Amino acid sequence: MANEYSRTERLADQIQRDLAYLLQREVKDPRVNLMSINEVKVSKDLGYADIYFTLITTAETSVDSVEVKDALKALKGAEGYLRSQLGSRIKMRIVPHLRFHFDNSVGRGRYLSSLIDKALSEDSVRAKDRDGE
């Protein structure tokens, strides 16, 4: 029962909540205003935290888009501030190094959903054409 929710998972959840708050309320950089933290994974030795984020404003699914590059640059620039704020909130001796990654799963989901909608509409048109003949 003790291993159901490990220390790394609890720490990842806490980092996710605190980072979301900090990015929304404390960081004044407009490049990170409309950002969602999707997931945080903390390494077993608690040395690194991989943060996966999505930009709400972009429909672009590419990591190479200008908005994503700007957001990554802003996050890397604010890493020291974010780590210090996390350290005061979480009360750990050593705060994990933050590594930011763009998560394109939301954009990919939108793209796949649009493909499904397109296929369904084409099927209904074909069905109407068959019934009309």
Write down the pLDDT at residue 3: 62
Sign (positive or negative) of CA dihedral 33, 105, 12, 51:
negative
When mean pLDDT is compared across 41-45, 82-86, 91-95, the lowest value belongs to 91-95
Banded pLDDT at 2 (limits 50, 70, 90): low
Residue 37, strand partner residues: 53
